[in-house]
Amino acid sequence: MIKQAVIVAGGLGSRFGNRTKEMPKGFIEIDGVPMVERSVQKLIASGIEEIIIGTGHCSEYYDELAKKYHIIKTVRNDNYANTSSMGTLAVCAPLIKGDFILLESDLIYDSVGLKVLINDERKNVILASGKSNSHDEVYLAANADGVLNEVSKDKKIIPEPAGELVGITKISKSCLDKMMKYYKSDSSLIKLDYENALKHVSTEMEEPVYVHKIEYYAWTEIDDESMLERAVTQIWPRIQENESLWNVRREVLLNPGPSTTTDSVKYAQVVADICPRELEFGNLMEEVATGLTEVCADPKDYISVMFGCSGTGADEAMVSSCVPPDGKLLVVDNGSYGARLAKIASVYNIDMDVFKSSTYEPIDLKALENQMKSKKYTTFAIVYHETTTGLLNDLATICPMAKKYGMTTICDIVSAYGGMPIDLGKLQIDFATSTSNKHIGGMAGVGFVVCRKSELLKQKDWPMRNYYLNIYDQYKYFLETKQTRFTPPVQTFYALRQAIIETKVETVEKRFERFTACWEILVKALDEIGLKMLVDRKYQSHFITAILIPETPKYSFNDLHDYAKSFGFTIYPGKLGNIDTFRIANMGDIKPEEMTHFTCVLRDYMHSIGVC
């Protein structure tokens, strides 16, 4: 799996004259976005986790970009004026850990080129196109097997080219090592280009580099004003059209999970078949587990144990695994999900008391502490965010209180995880559950329990109360084999990997701000329409808003649902005892402008039944 990309961006861009005197060429904007930034976005969407940019001329621009996308690392080629692209690649080399994609900085391109290289089974592949007529062509020659054997701008040297160099190449670590060896072998090579280093490796060092040509590939390099003009008027429209053909019809899910996913997460599932007992897949699961832990805890102290199941599966794994054989559980029930935890415990015949609390008002902490004080309990279970109502329980106070009375804390944080900053260590939570398909933004199918290692190890000799869902058994088997005991949802894991990358790029803090912005748009509209919310806004999570249905008999959830659906919005009903609500979620890939659109749809419907 390719995880790194390197962009060589040391060049002076002197053919642009004044325009690039004080700015690197990669920052020239096409349709409002700097070329190199768009390239970074395409790399992220293709599953690249880390981007190394070799800089030189005006390197501070790239350092600024790295602040916006913290998966970027910059390395400066101090000798950029006297070296060429191989010199810049050489300063990046120490950071390159495996196979990678190498790109030039002054490119616009159809992202299908990245897909093609990533999917090519060969290790070293240089992307080529048919005739570009750009007047700045670099021609590639190849032998009958497609192996690169010449690079030149001179058509006389390559009368029948295998294609034109695009500036995007897949390179293996061993190929890079050979390029470096060659580059360092002779000081007269100081101005070597990376493509000539590739040619040398391919023809002289037994490391074949293959030319992969896409005849009608939409791309261009931009070296001067006339190329820029051509890029804007001819190439960019083609790239946009080609890429738009991949768009998946947009449906905005306002139901409380599964949530709206990005197209890049959807496409991440389309991968080569693989047996999940292969080490390659074991490594993927291990990285996903670490990524999941990092979202809410310190991986030094916590570990994620994953199952093929929904969020309730993770809840069941936690409740049925984490209460000691002779233990007693205290469960807080202030909504459907708290009730579900209690139900699971009762199915497993776990000794338990239920602390009932209002579904829309904060928990009475004194009363809860009194119950804890009896010291009858080994284990304490609670839901962080009650998705039924949007009520956020005050775990920062409640969990430390439970710890004070010697309990192990097991929490359903399913619909808070990934949506707001959470630190399990600080909150004193020992076990926490979530799922791949809520705020983290993946596909349904992976449920997981983030476990405090020291607490998990205590379960070592406990008799098993469950089988498929046993956390310790799953943990131990994975530790020893890098395999899950039973078939995992393979493609869901690839999507989850992509969702974790996108979460890291956005950051959980920014994600919470985005959800809050959407929630504020919704709440303002509700005020204007005259609809009331079930929970006082100061106790709301910003992830779910339970809205009381209007009193008129003309209201019909089904009508509202169908009307919203006709605009691409899916909403969800909610009944709490005899209180009727409908619920609007802010989860996943929802944008504030989409929430604004939804509020217009809602207003129209409410107007049609005389509410406003």
Ligand X SMILES: *Cc1c(COP(=O)(O)O)cnc(C)c1O
Query: Which amino acid is present at 205?
Result: M
CA–CA distance, 295 with 496 (Å, rounded to integer): 13
CB nearer to ligand X: give 200 or 340.
340
Q: How far is the CB of 259 from ligand X (least distance, A)?
A: 10
Q: How far is the CB of 37 from ligand X (least distance, A)?
A: 35
| Interface mask toward ligand X for 372-391; x: CB under 6 A | -----------x---x----
Q: How far is the CB of 354 from ligand X (least distance, A)?
A: 16
Q: Residues with Cβ < 8 Å from 63, sequence gap 6 or more?
A: 55, 74
Residue 588 as a binder of ligand X (CB under 6 A): the answer is no
Residue 412 as a binder of ligand X (CB under 6 A): the answer is yes
Q: Which positions from 482 through 521 interact with ligand X, judged by CB under 6 A?
A: none
CA–CA distance, 562 with 554 (Å, rounded to integer): 15
CA–CA distance, 299 with 110 (Å, rounded to integer): 38
| Interface mask toward ligand X for 414-443; x: CB under 6 A | xx-------------------x--------
CB nearer to ligand X: give 163 or 574.
574
Among residues 13, 87, 163, 257, the one that binds ligand X under rule CB under 6 A: 257
Residue 535 as a binder of ligand X (CB under 6 A): the answer is no
Q: Which stretch binds ligand X (CB under 6 A): 100-108, 206-214, 305-313, 505-513?
A: 305-313
Residue 312 as a binder of ligand X (CB under 6 A): the answer is yes
Burial 508-522 (b: 16+ CB within 10 A, else e): beebbebbbebbebb
Q: Which stretch binds ligand X (CB under 6 A): 20-28, 34-42, 411-419, 502-510?
A: 411-419
Instruction: Write the burial class of residue 131 (CB in 10 Å: 0-12 exposed, 13-18 middle, 19+ buried).
Output: exposed
CB nearer to ligand X: give 412 or 594.
412
Q: Which stretch binds ligand X (CB under 6 A): 124-132, 215-223, 310-318, 499-507?
A: 310-318
CB-CB contact of 56 with 63 (8 Å): no
CB nearer to ligand X: give 212 or 439.
439
Q: Which stretch binds ligand X (CB under 6 A): 54-62, 164-172, 226-234, 309-317?
A: 309-317
CB nearer to ligand X: give 291 or 311.
311
CB nearer to ligand X: give 129 or 261.
261
Residue 311 as a binder of ligand X (CB under 6 A): the answer is yes
The three-state (H, E, C) secondary structure of 210-270, written as one string: EEEEECCCCEEECCCHHHHHHHHHHHHHHHHHHHHCCCCCCCEECCCCCCCCCHHHHHHCC
Q: Which stretch binds ligand X (CB under 6 A): 12-20, 71-79, 409-417, 580-588?
A: 409-417
Please choose, from the candidates 549, 588, 557, the residue with its C-alpha nearest in 3D space to the C-alpha of residue 258: 588
CB nearer to ligand X: give 217 or 417.
417
The residue count for binding ligand X (CB under 6 A) is 13
CB atoms within 10 A of CB 500: 24
CB nearer to ligand X: give 203 or 466.
466
Query: Which amino acid is present at 295?
Result: V
Query: Which amino acid is present at 262?
Result: T
CB-CB contact of 365 with 333 (8 Å): no
CB nearer to ligand X: give 359 or 387.
387
Task: Give the angle 477-347-476 at the CA atoms, nearest 5°.
Answer: 10
CB-CB contact of 535 with 360 (8 Å): yes
CA–CA distance, 278 with 491 (Å, rounded to integer): 14
The three-state (H, E, C) secondary structure of 54-88, written as one string: EECCCHHHHHHHHHHCCCEEEEECCCCCCCCHHHH
Q: How far is the CB of 416 from ligand X (least distance, A)?
A: 8
Residue found under tokens 């929970």: 535
Q: How far is the CB of 585 from ligand X (least distance, A)?
A: 9
Q: How far is the CB of 432 from ligand X (least distance, A)?
A: 11
Residue 307 as a binder of ligand X (CB under 6 A): the answer is no
Q: How far is the CB of 322 from ligand X (least distance, A)?
A: 16
CB nearer to ligand X: give 55 or 435.
435
Q: How far is the CB of 117 from ligand X (least distance, A)?
A: 36
Query: Which amino acid is present at 380?
Result: F
CA–CA distance, 93 with 309 (Å, rounded to integer): 41
CB nearer to ligand X: give 330 or 391.
391
CA–CA distance, 445 with 466 (Å, rounded to integer): 20
Q: How far is the CB of 178 from ligand X (least distance, A)?
A: 49
Q: Which positions from 567 through 586 interact with ligand X, judged by CB under 6 A?
A: none
CB nearer to ligand X: give 109 or 384.
384
CA–CA distance, 72 with 225 (Å, rounded to integer): 28
Judge if the upstream peptide bond of residue 258 is cis by omega within 30 degrees of 0.
Answer: yes
CB nearer to ligand X: give 178 or 542.
542
Residue 310 as a binder of ligand X (CB under 6 A): the answer is yes
Q: How far is the CB of 312 from ligand X (least distance, A)?
A: 3
Positions that interact with ligand X (CB under 6 A): 256-257, 310-312, 315, 337, 383, 387, 412, 414-415, 435
